[in-house]
Amino acid sequence: MLHSWITFTSLLLSLSLSLSLPQQQLYTTPNMNTSNGNGNSPDPAQLSKLRQLYDYAGQGHVFTFYDTLSPQDQSSLLDQLANIDVERVNRIYRNAVSASTPPVETKSLDSRLGVTNLIGRSRTPSPSPDEVIPLPDEACATILNNPQDEARWREIGLKAISENTVAVLLLAGGQGTRLGSSSPKGMYDLKLPSGRSLFDYQAKRIGKLERLAEEASGKGKGSVRIKWYVMTSGPTRQETEKYFQSMDYFGLSKDNVIFFEQGEWSRLLSEDKY
């Protein structure tokens, strides 16, 4: 349901909870300098500009607890707000809500004209939704009891890998809070006899694929490389990178492990407020 992602907790509450702070406090990693030069106090001109911008956009309540914050926390809040395109957020929200609203029932042209024989002559009827039917057999495949196709697909895959045209994307931005850990989920101790983590397991699989592709193509050792893109979040980026470094990238080439950080988006209440 569309409203399931539109209706969120407020920005102030979500930021404070994500950083384990009281609801009235708001800390962020500054991306824009809004201090007045002493490193702590906010810039009055920037504060005035942001207040005006957010008031005009109908989001002025984000400053509700501003006066209760320390100068350093105030600067952090302004840094966060300065990097949000508030008008764009509002516009996307309105478009999403509009798209989720059931269309108003309207009478057809034939009904309004009082005729019933226009279809197929002067106008084309609107298409009705297609009946939902299973995919045709030729659009589906399986390796069960299908050794010939399995071998063919394996050959195609190993060839692509051997040509260094294959990459792996890992979405590793989440923390293991529901598992009782604040560390990235890929580092979580699964209590396996091997003691290996999920990061370790995936790295070993990537390394195995590289070696299999080398053998299948007759290429030399180390000539096949699979790029591994690891997406992190703000809270997991530093710890994830340190973990990979401490594990010597699990035997993979450091140059083929690329970390990048997922973006952030403002959270909205159902009444269109941060």
0.85 surpassed by pTM: no
Quote the CA–CA distance of 189 and 241 in Å, as a whole number: 17
Distance, in Å, from the CA atom of 149 to the CA atom of 133, rounded to the nearest integer, reads 26
- pLDDT tens per residue across span 124-170: 455 555 677 888 888 888 888 889 999 999 999 999 999 999 999 99
Condensed to tens digits (0 to 9), the pLDDT of residues 174-202 reads 776 676 767 888 888 778 888 889 999 99
3-state helix, strand, coil in the chain (%, to 5): 45, 10, 45
Amino acid type, 60: G
Phi, psi of 261 (to 5 degrees): -105, 135
Q: CA distances (Å), 259 to each of 126, 133, 227, 231, 235, in order?
A: 48, 42, 11, 6, 14
For residue 141, count CB atoms less than 10 angstroms from its CB and return exposed for 0-12, middle for 13-18, buried for 19 or more. Answer: exposed
